Amino acid sequence: MTDYSKKTNIEQDKSEDLYKRLEPIFKKGIAGVNNRTFGDIERIVGELKTDWTTEHVLVKLIDDIDRIASYTIKPYTVGDTFKGLNDPDYSLIRDAFITIGAEANAGKSSILTALSLDILKHNRDTAFLFYSLDDSVYLSGKRILSQITGENQFKSSSFNLAILSGQEEADIKHLFNRIVIKERLNMNTLEREAVKVKEICGCNKIIIGIDYLQIIPTPPDMIRREYYNDIVKALKEIQKRLEPTGCIIFLLSQFNRDTESTTHRYRETSEIENQSDVCLDISGKMKKIKDPDTGKTKIIPDMDDNTRRVKVSKNKLGKKGRKWKTEINDVFNFTPLTICHDDEYIPADDDKNNPENFDWDKVKK
């Protein structure tokens, strides 16, 4: 037991902290050593170096009142498409850990990159580190090129900046110089990579986009849900450490298809809602079909419809519950968000037609 009446210096406190962080590893003994052990030790030592400073560890509120009082919520400037997200009492696009949840093929990857590019265009001191785990660099790069130029680049095998006007070329080059795409994510090096991206792009602020949580490989000796819980907590800590100079983390997640579950809405983990500052839910229009085997009517996503609904399901520092309507086009951009109500967007004659209450596992594809 720690003797709190005993005076210690910073180095002694560091040593005790290091021991307590490593103690669970020591207790496992040699039998507990695996491929992750040395990575865990490296991460713990790195966290200790980052967390500790030569300043006083404990500061009384009265001594810190000026710094706390000066802290304000400053939303990032965005264009007309997403400005609704920064409406008074919402201010959603801010330094925060933001989860974007949706079912498959709802356009969550497109809305992440479109929103991030919009932030970059209006905040020239911001870089974008995109972990494209679901698609290759080539597919994600083509989508981003399409969103930037307003032309579907999947229909072309070349890209020539020379065809653009002088100002357009300068603006696009400035965007390209602040975007880094990676196909793999290593939680032990993510924070260092983010700092490095800011350095090579000459920016103070950064957006980190992860597409998506459930595709991150789980170590063979870890329970999937527990591992994802740990990742979400670690991402939150990284965002907090990078926040003083400016950091948004966008995490994509699939919804839980088990509509009977009361423990979590996101697949595999309930920790997302606990750790996120903002949760945005994306859903598409629904349509009725008749099951040829049973003759019963089913409600399924209408894949031919481009309408999407964006709903604020969590906002730690403001209001929630508002819904916006938008449409995705053939270059993966979106029309300006407009406030909507369920009855004007999802044609339904009962609550079962609401996609949030629908049992997706009963749909035959």
Report pLDDT for 47.
Answer: 73
Total count of residues recorded for the chain: 365
pLDDT band at residue 277 under the 50/70/90 scheme? very high
Q: For residues 197 and 313, state if they share a domain.
A: yes
- For residues 63 and 82, membership in a common domain is answered with no
Q: Are 221 and 40 contacting, i.e. CB atoms less than 8 angstroms apart?
A: no
CA distance 49 to 52: 6
Query: In this structure, are 57 and 85 located in the same domain?
Result: no
Whether 292 maps to a domain, the answer reads: yes
Q: Residue 34 corresponds to which tokens in the numbers above?
A: 């695996």
Confidence label for 19 from pLDDT (cuts 50, 70 and 90): confident
Q: Give the C-alpha distances (Å, rounded to integers) separating 41 from 18, 21, 25, 38, 265.
A: 10, 9, 9, 5, 33
Specify whether 84 is located in the same domain as 162. yes
Are 318 and 187 found together in one domain? yes
Domain assignment present for residue 72? The answer is: no
Residue 325's domain comprises: 77-362
Number of domains present in the structure of the chain: 2
- 1 inside domain: no
The reported pTM is 0.76
Residue 38 has pLDDT above 80, yes or no: no
Question: How is residue 335 written in tokens?
Answer: 């029309």
Q: Find residue 309's DSSP bridge partners.
A: 283, 325
Q: Write out the two tokens for 89.
A: 């009492």
Residue 70 pLDDT exceeds 70: yes
Evaluate whether residue 315 is within a structural domain.
yes
Average pLDDT over the chain, rounded to an integer? 82
The answer to whether residues 344 and 308 belong to one domain is yes
Q: How many CA atoms lie within 13 A of 49 on its CB side?
A: 7
Cis peptide before 212 (omega within 30 of 0): yes
Do 163 and 278 have their domain in common? yes
Residue 256 domain-assigned (yes or no):
yes
Asked, for residue 326, whether it belongs to a domain, the answer is yes
How do residues 292-340 score in pLDDT, each as one tens digit? 778 788 777 777 889 999 999 999 999 999 999 999 999 999 999 999 8
- 121-170 pLDDT, tens digit per residue, is 999 999 999 999 888 999 999 999 999 988 888 888 877 776 677 777 88
Q: Do 157 and 250 lie in a common domain?
A: yes
300/323 same-domain check: yes
- Specify the CATH number for the domain of residue 272: 3.40.50.300
More reliable by pLDDT, 191 or 58: 191
Say whether both 186 and 235 belong to one domain.
yes
| In a shared domain, residues 30 and 91 | no
**For 211-228, what is the mean pLDDT?**
83
Residue 83 CB neighbours (<10 A) = 16
Domain assignment present for 3: no
Report angle CA 116, 87, 211 to the nearest 5 degrees. 25
Specify if 94 maps to a domain: yes
Name the residue with tokens 């005076």. 7
58 and 105 together in one domain? no
